[in-house]
Amino acid sequence: MYALYAHLQKTQQGKSGKTPESSRNRPRRFRLGVEHDPRYAFVVAGGALSDPDIRYAHDADLIVAADSGASFLKKHNVIPDIIVGDFDSLSPSVLEHFRTMKKGVRKERPVEVIKLPREKDKTDTEVALDIISDRGFSAALVVGGLGGFRLDHELANVFILEPYAKLGLDVVLCSTRSIIFGVHGVSDEYKTPYTARSFIGLPGDWVSVIPLTSEVAGVTLSGLKFPLYEATLKRGSTLGVSNEMVKEKASISVTEGFALVVLTVG
């Protein structure tokens, strides 16, 4: 299933440069996608967010707000299943708003609020992913995990993909223009099934493969401008950076190690 998308396609314009009236109210399509489990949890973190990000909530089986991510959900009238955090960046009025809400077909379930101490060993986002993993999910989409003014949080969120793959949780990070996902070799160490993965975009979109382990072996890329066959990428090498889509579908497979795949609108 290709349900995790980033960046809206531009609306078609007329010769005058203006958007035709007939096109203005059409649903806009998302152009990037990655193969994933159709049953997924949606996490809203406190980094950079844009209004189109809310569309991921519509098909999610569980919605978790990490601290100030709850403000984004309130703005779009979406009720989370869980709000978790130390609430250092969340307005008390937003928290109180959701305390009065209920979910479910019969509105029988109150929003679960999990208060964390301010001094702790994990970020709010990591705790949110722990909760998702503990509740049996194998896929999580995170928005608000990239961008913003906290580069440390952004890097931590990127590196977190590998340890969760070992736990059986496939984490996909999504921003306005990019999605980041993982692929790994055949090993009992990893519990997710993604030794090979296909993804979609448009010709000209950028694809970068970045090793997280000391080396990633057996890297095979197809559907890209610069294909690879059973190559080895070493951590710190930029060999896999700035490849390009030449078709609307491409794929990657590896035999050893763990790599990030960064798909960006060109």
| Domains 1-9+28-176 and 178-266 in one fold | yes
Position 30 confidence tier, pLDDT thresholds 50, 70, 90 = low
Question: Per-domain residue ranges for the chain?
Answer: 1-9+28-176, 178-266
* Residues forming beta bridges with residue 216, ordered by sequence position: 233
Q: What is the mean pLDDT of residues 149-164?
A: 92
44-83 per-residue burial string, b: 16 or more CB within 10 A, e: under 16: bbbbbbbebbbebbeebebbbbbbbbbbbbbeeebbbbbb
Nearby residues of 186 by Cβ (< 8 Å), 6 or more positions away: 195, 255, 256
For the domain 1-9+28-176, what is the CATH code?
3.40.50.10240
Are the CB atoms for 83 and 98 separated by under 8 Å?
yes
H or E element, residue 65: strand 62-66
Tens digit of each residue's pLDDT (9 = 90 or more) over 87-144:
988 999 999 999 888 776 556 788 999 999 988 999 999 999 999 999 999 999 999 9
Residue labelled with tokens 């189109």: 52
For the domain 178-266, what is the CATH code?
3.40.50.10240
pLDDT greater than 50 at residue 146: yes
Tens digit of each residue's pLDDT (9 = 90 or more) over 69-88:
999 999 999 999 999 999 98
The confidence score (pLDDT) of residue 176 equals: 82
Q: How far apart are CA 85 and CA 68, in angstroms?
A: 8
Q: How far apart are the first and last CA of the chain?
A: 23
The confidence score (pLDDT) of residue 100 equals: 86
Q: How far is CA 234 from CA 110, 219, 257, in A?
A: 48, 11, 10
Q: Rg for the chain (alpha carbons), in Å? A: 19
**Of all residues in the chain, what percent carry a pLDDT higher than 90?**
69
- Single-letter amino acid, residue 19: T
Tens digit of each residue's pLDDT (9 = 90 or more) over 9-20:
443 333 444 433
Q: How far apart are CA 171 and CA 146, in angstroms?
A: 13
207-228 per-residue burial string, b: 16 or more CB within 10 A, e: under 16: bbbbbbbeebbbbebebbeeeb
The confidence score (pLDDT) of residue 232 equals: 97
The confidence score (pLDDT) of residue 125 equals: 95
The confidence score (pLDDT) of residue 105 equals: 56
Q: What is the mean pLDDT of residues 154-159?
A: 94
Strand 139-143 and strand 170-174: the pairing is parallel
The confidence score (pLDDT) of residue 61 equals: 94
The token pair that represents 129 in the structure block: 């992913």
pLDDT greater than 50 at residue 233: yes
- pTM, full prediction: 0.87
